[in-house]
Structure 1
Amino acid sequence: MTDKNILPAGFESLEPFVEYWAGETNDIRWDRRSRASMPDIQAFYDAMLARAEDAIQHLEKFPLGDMPPAEERLFCLTLSLVHASIAVELHEQPRAIDSPFPHGLHVTRGPWPHGGGMGQSA
């Protein structure tokens, strides 16, 4: 697999979501969910949920922190599914009711390699 592959073979149907949803940190993924429209969140959620089990099985073949670039992007999409599911299954809108946006709380450290805040590494 080369860097030219956006996602691993078999996951091409998810490629339209990579640019927006494959954020590298928790803060980026939260911000993207918070700014997205519900139709966009729902489209990503539906597409990713349908492939989530396959994605996880594929990703388990690679060590965390040492994945090829295509797998790294698929991993970030899988993490973004968690954010999308909050909007779809819990809030039924991009952000929690009565929550300020943007807020001043930023995750500066988190589970390596994709936990830290925007522009920061954990």
Structure 2
Amino acid sequence: MSTQTLLPEGFSGLEPFVTGWALAGSAARAGRRGASTPEERAAFHAAAAGELPRALDYLDAKGFAAFDDADERLMNLMLSLGHVALAVEQQKDAEPRHARDRAHMHITRTPAGA
């Protein structure tokens, strides 16, 4: 019996967040941030922030050309963390107000479709 690995070896602690946060595209990640609850953002941030340096070292060492599906999911999680970190670390209690304002700012294109 084989089990699908959602993330690269050593990152299994982040697997509960793959479905909700490993999203391709800046617009999807921004939308998820806006639709998430404070508790969802806090839980993801608490789990992922400490893994960021190790995840980036892993991904940098591998290089984009060698990414498999698990690597792509890890990269998308870390890119989502950028959105969430802004909400959790900077916006804090003002996040709901900023979310309303962001609803009027539509992401139509980003570098390399990230």
**Pairwise same-fold verdict (TM > 0.5):** yes
For 2:85 and 2:22, locate their aligned partners in 1 and report how far apart those are by CA, in whole Å: 15
Flag the 1:50–1:93 CA change in 2: closer, same or farther, 3 A: same
Q: Which residue of the partner structure matches residue 47 of structure 2?
A: 47
Tell me if 1:69 matches 2:69: yes
Q: 1:65 to 1:25 in 2, by over 3 A?
A: farther
Q: Which has the higher contact order (CA 8 A, sep 6+)?
A: 2
1:80 matched to which residue of 2? 80
TM-score (norm 2): 0.85
Partner of 1:120: none
What is the root-mean-square deviation in Å for CA atoms of aligned residues? 2.2
Q: Normalising by structure 1, what TM-score? A: 0.80
Tell me if the contact between 2:49 and 2:81 (Cα under 8 Å) persists in the aligned partners: yes
Q: Which has the higher helix share?
A: 2
Checking the alignment, whether the CA contact within 8 Å between 1:6 and 1:70 is kept in structure 2 is: yes
- Structure 1 residues 91 and 85, CA gap change in structure 2 (3 angstroms): same
- Structure 2 unaligned regions, length at least 5: none
Matched residue type, 1:88: V
Q: Tell me which residue corresponds to 1:117.
A: none
Instruction: Tell me the CA shift for residue 113 of structure 1.
Output: 4.4
Amino acid of the structure 2 residue aligned with 1:28: A
Quote the residue 1:29 is aligned against. Answer: 29
- Structure 1: 5+ residue runs without aligned partners? 115-122
Aligned residues: 112
CA distance 1:100–1:10, change in 2 (3 Å):
same
